[in-house]
Each structure stands twice: as structure tokens, then as C-alpha cells.
Structure 1
Amino acid sequence: MNKKIVYVISMLVFAFIGFIMIPQTAKADIDGVTVTPLIGDSDITDRFQIIGKPNATRTLRISIANFGIRNVRLKIVPTNATTSMDGKIVYTDNVKSGQYGLKYAFADMTKSQTVLVKTNKTKDVSFKVKLPEGEVDNLILGGFNIYDISKSVGGNADIPVWITGSNKAVGGIVTLHNLGLDVIQKQPHIIVNLQNKEPGLMKNVIVHMTVKRKSWLDRFNLGDKTMTADLTYPKVAPNSKIPVDFDQNTTPIKAGTYVVKGAARSGKATWTFHKTYTITQDQANNINKRCKGLIYNKTTTYILIVCVLVSIIFLIFWAIWYSGRS
């Protein structure tokens, strides 16, 4: 082999080894701020990983550097991982024990902190984590959500904290949780929430879901169309909801009975769902009044008007016919 080729390959190998040995900083969308978990002597550099016995206490340290042009006041909040609509692990929700089968909440093991990091300065922050009294079954996927409290809308940084009693891998089970409504960017959304009720991280969850509003117009093929979602979630957090989003765009939410059908698959496991939900008029009105640019379908109104007119005409002709017989 040519010596030049050998030299190039060797440089690439050393460069790769050097890259994986560099401590990883957390993904940070806060202007000028980097956040780094101080792991210590470990091969894992992108998260904290705790394998501990009940009631044990661990100290976790985070380094925050501010390279921006202003001082920043950051809130560091412990929470549990949730699953986003695009199948990512996020730490932006306030998760409590009992939700989605969660036995222990990370927020109960340590306290949130607020820190001021001056420009061109670095600050280390320590957290004492008290593990629960009972055994940790499989995986608690906790983390620190870090954000600038001076901005109502802005970026954040996440520091994952994996807590396990045995470090044994476990799967999940997908079930249907509920049907919810939300307003996103001034548009109405119907969201079917599945859930992973098990303390196991899931990968590549494929979901097929349909939602249909029942109507008497269905017999004339004039009812609302069936909404369909075919999605793949690369990752699903333990004990978390799995939101399936149906964006209504400019169509307002209608009160009525909705039939939800679908299936989810992960590996060789498959789960099916079929349930009916009711959206009240108050719930629909609450969502619609917070949206903009909605276009109301007046098909039902027009049909009712036609029916009334036909009925009136029929009554007139009947009255004329009846009076003619008298």
C-alpha cells in the first residue's frame, strides 16, 4: 500500500479517536451559552448515569459558560423526559409521579436552582440527588431543563440523567391515553395521545392512526373526512405520552363524537387501538376563539335551510290541496 495512503488513513483514525474523547456539551439554544455535564472518569460524556441503591445520594455538577454579550439568569429545573411530536426526547414538560405510570419523578429527587452567569464567565452548579426509597425498576429517564428566565420565548439546554437499579435494558408497551385539543401557532390541533407506560426506552415506534367525527351527514357522504396519520417516532421516552398530531389548519374544531382507530408497532410487537371520545361545544369554542383565519364550513346550515324551504313548500301545496277538497 502506498505510504501516503497509509499516512492519511492513520491521521483520520487518530482524529476520530480524539473526537470521541472530547467531553460533549449539551445542546444549547441559549444565545452564547454552553452547558457541560461534569462527568468525571467515565466513557459516557453526554449525560449523567446513576446506578445506585435505594436512599443513596449522588452529587451532580454542571458547568455553564457564558460567551454572550450580556449577563444571563438561568433556571435549572429537574424533570423527566417526554416524547415530542417528531419523536425526540425532550425535557421541557413539568412531569410528576403517577403520570403515564411513572413511579418516581426526578423532580422529587433534587431541587431546581436559579443562577446568574456573567458575560465571559463560567459557573459550576452542584445538585444533590436523593434516590427513592424503593428499588428503581429498569430506567428513570430524568434530566435538567435549562432556560433563560428573562425570555418568555427562547431556547433551552438539556442535561439527561439516567437512573437505573440494574442497568438492564427493557422495552415498552404502547396504549391509548386520551384525545386532547391545543392551539399551535394560532391554528387548532386535535392530538391523540398514546403512552408508553413502561420504564423502558423505545426506538422506531411506527404509528398508524385515524380520527373520524361521526355525523348524520355520513349517510350522504357529506360528513367530515377521516383524518389519517402515519408517523415514525425514532425514540420514545419511558413513562411518557406519545402525541399524534392532527393539524386542522383553517378548519375550526367541531363539537361531537370522534372515533379513534389505529395501531402502533415496535420491532415484533404490535398494539391496536379503538375508542370513542366526545368534544363538547365549550371545548371547541375555547380552542376556536384562540385561533385566527378559520374558515367555517356551512354545508350543514345550507342543507337545513333547503330542508326547511322544501318543508314549507310541501305544507303550502298540501294546504292548497286540502282546502280544494273542502
Structure 2
Amino acid sequence: MSKKIIYFLSAIFFAFLGFMVNDLVVKADINGVTVTPLIENGDTDVTDRFEIVGKPGAERTVKISIGNFGINKLHLRIEPTNATTSMDGKIVYTDKVLAGQYGLQYAFSSMTKAKNIVLKPNKTKDVTFKIKLPDSKIDGLIMGGFNVYDTSKDGAKGNANVPVWITGDNKAVGGIVSLHNLTLDVIDKKPHIIINLQNKELGQMKNVIVHMTVKRKSWLDRFNLGPKKMIADTTYDKVAPNSKIPVDFDQNQTPIQAGEYVVKGAARSGKATWTFHKTYKITQDQANDINKRCKGLIYNKTTTYILIVCVLLSVIFLIFWAIWYSGRS
């Protein structure tokens, strides 16, 4: 029997074994890798994540099965972190989250430790983690999880997530939206202004609708020639507890300009509504740092043209004044 046939039959066997252990296999965004939460005697009936309902100071053990059905040996890291909210309203576990961020009291990374494994082709490995719950009562939901990624690549480009939700009493808790800050970023070589809202509560939110405007102040506003108001209407299907809610303003080929930016907006979830109004300042150094990392920017020459016209008109006025004055003498 050839080696190719042996590898093929082995892959089928391990895949079948994975489905027998659990109905759910988390498809990793890493070629040939599957990640399966092995849920045994869970606190709830869900099968797509670990749900722990525990008392303060309790210790729980969870197990994850990882299979490599590719042709290459993999060096994987399984890293605990808290859930965050993506720009398109999804719950993700790719960011490293620390206690204190967005009102977060308990970082999942402080309850268990990361692990590194080496996985040969056509092999599976069960990895066990001990989770130590906080010593104080959890009034809400800690939405943690394990981010599994290939250490030889960018984790954001190849990873799988295994959620671990922790509560003290399994009662639903809502969230509260507030304005956090304004940040700048470069995405696909284009400048972006990002207004970060935040959910500072230990509760997951659903169907959060956000309407937001951003306007840079300019002396040209009095002539209706100033920068246009940027508008964002976004719906976030899910918002993680204690996470930022990024509202993206893609500048495309327009460079970031220094100045004061007026942010106005509102967010709505169910019957609750929150409004926002604040002015942020972008310095010239911040604008330059972003713009030099972008490509294909098209600079607006309106101000330059207006100044040139003003100078020309001033020169013409002086010439006519000089002619008029010399004619009187």
C-alpha cells in the first residue's frame, strides 16, 4: 500500500473520530487544521463553546482537541484572551486584552495560561487548560476564549477561536454604550478615522444600530467650502462585554488633515438610546505619521487656490490704487 493511500485513510479516520467526540468542529482559518471543544458535563447545553457557571474562586478544567490534516508540521499557540467587537459587528478573539480596558475587571488571560504545541501531519492532540475563576462574584458575563494560531504567520490571517463564557449565576445582563476616543489607522494602505464607542458593562449586546457623523472645523465653513461631513450608519449584530465598538470612516485617497473634529451620533439597542457629542483634535504629527504610510493620496488644493486668488486680487488692487494715486498727484 502506497504512502499516499495510508495518509488518505489516516485523514479520514481522524476526521471521523473528531465528529464522534463532538458534533461541532470549529473550522480553523489555518490550512488543514480543525479545533474542537471537548465539552463533557458542561454547565449548559451549548456545544459550540464552553459555558462555565461557577462560584468565586472555583477551578474548572476544559479540553480542546486540535487536528492537523495538512502536509506540514505546525507550531501552534493557544492563547487565552477576552472577546472584542470587530468593525462589522462580529465577536472576535484575536486581540490581546488586559484588565482595565473598557472597564474590564477580569482578564481571561489571568485565569489560565497560554500553551504552545507542535503538531505533525495527520495527528491530533488534546490540550487541557485549568481555569481559575475570580475570587469575587461575577455580576454579568466574562466572554473569554482561546485564540489558536500558527506562530510562523500573522495570527490575524490564520486562526481559530474557542469561546469560553463565564458567569456567576447565568442571568442575562445588558450593556451601555458611551463614547471612548478617536484613533487613526492605516488599512490596506489607506487612511482611516475610527471613532471608538465602548460597552463598559459585563453584558453582551445585540443589534446595536449606530449613526455617527464626523466634521473637521475649517474657516472655509462660513463660505460653504469647508470639508464635507462624513456619515456612518452601521449595525453591530453582536457587541462583546467590556469592548470597544469601532466606527470606521474610510478616507480612501483623502489624506488626514490636522485640526479639530466634531463627532456627533447616537446608538440604539432595543428601547435604549445613547447620544454622543464631542470634539477631538488631530495634531499635525499624527496626520503626517498616518499619511506617510499610505499610498495614492490626493491632496485637496482648494485652500491653496483660494490663497493664490486672494494674493492676485490684492496685487491687482494695489496696481490700480497706485495708478489712481499717481493720477491725482
Q: Which TM-score applies when normalising by structure 2?
A: 0.91
For residues 121-172 of structure 1, the C-alpha deviation after alignment (integer angstroms, 9 at most, x for no partner) is 0011111111112111210000011100111363100000001111110110
1:308 counterpart residue number: 311
1:161 counterpart residue number: 164
CA contact (8 A) 2:22 2:39 kept: no
CA contact (8 A) 1:193 1:242 kept: yes
1:30 counterpart residue number: 30
1:63 counterpart residue number: 65
CA contact (8 A) 1:148 1:154 kept: no
CA contact (8 A) 2:87 2:247 kept: yes
- 1:50 is displaced (CA, Å) by 1.0
1:141 counterpart residue number: 143
Counterpart residue type for residue 181 of structure 2: N
- Among 201, 209, 212, the alignment partner of 2:212 is 209
Counterpart residue type for residue 39 of structure 1: I
- 1:22 is displaced (CA, Å) by 5.0
- 1:188 is displaced (CA, Å) by 0.5
Q: Which TM-score applies when normalising by structure 1?
A: 0.91
For residues 203-234 of structure 1, the C-alpha deviation after alignment (integer angstroms, 9 at most, x for no partner) is 00001011111111111111111111111111
For residues 159-213 of structure 1, the C-alpha deviation after alignment (integer angstroms, 9 at most, x for no partner) is 0000111111011000000111100010111111000111000000001011111
1:240 counterpart residue number: 243
Distance 1:245 1:103 in 2: 27
Distance 1:101 1:137 in 2: 13
Q: Does 1:250 align with 2:261?
A: no
How many percent identity over aligned positions?
Answer: 77
Partner-residue secondary structure (3-state), 1:126: strand
- 1:318 is displaced (CA, Å) by 2.2
CA contact (8 A) 1:256 1:279 kept: yes
- Among 125, 128, 131, the alignment partner of 1:129 is 131
- 1:317 is displaced (CA, Å) by 2.3
Distance 2:308 2:24 in 1: 66
Distance 2:27 2:170 in 1: 25
Distance 1:39 1:292 in 2: 48
Partner-residue secondary structure (3-state), 2:26: coil
For residues 273-292 of structure 1, the C-alpha deviation after alignment (integer angstroms, 9 at most, x for no partner) is 01000111110110010011
- 1:322 is displaced (CA, Å) by 3.0
- 1:41 is displaced (CA, Å) by 2.9
Distance 1:249 1:220 in 2: 25
1:92 counterpart residue number: 94
- 1:45 is displaced (CA, Å) by 1.2
CA contact (8 A) 1:51 1:165 kept: yes
Q: Does 1:218 align with 2:221?
A: yes
2:55 counterpart residue number: 53
Distance 2:227 2:258 in 1: 12
For residues 253-290 of structure 1, the C-alpha deviation after alignment (integer angstroms, 9 at most, x for no partner) is 11111110010000000000010001111101100100
Distance 2:269 2:123 in 1: 46
1:158-307 equivalences under 5 Å are 158-307=161-310
Partner-residue secondary structure (3-state), 1:171: coil
Counterpart residue type for residue 41 of structure 1: N
Partner-residue secondary structure (3-state), 1:320: helix
Distance 1:165 1:33 in 2: 33
Counterpart residue type for residue 117 of structure 1: L
CA contact (8 A) 2:185 2:290 kept: yes
Counterpart residue type for residue 122 of structure 1: T
1:74 counterpart residue number: 76
Distance 1:114 1:136 in 2: 29
2:104 counterpart residue number: 102
Distance 1:158 1:101 in 2: 23
More displaced 10-residue stretch of structure 1: 306-315 or 73-82: 306-315
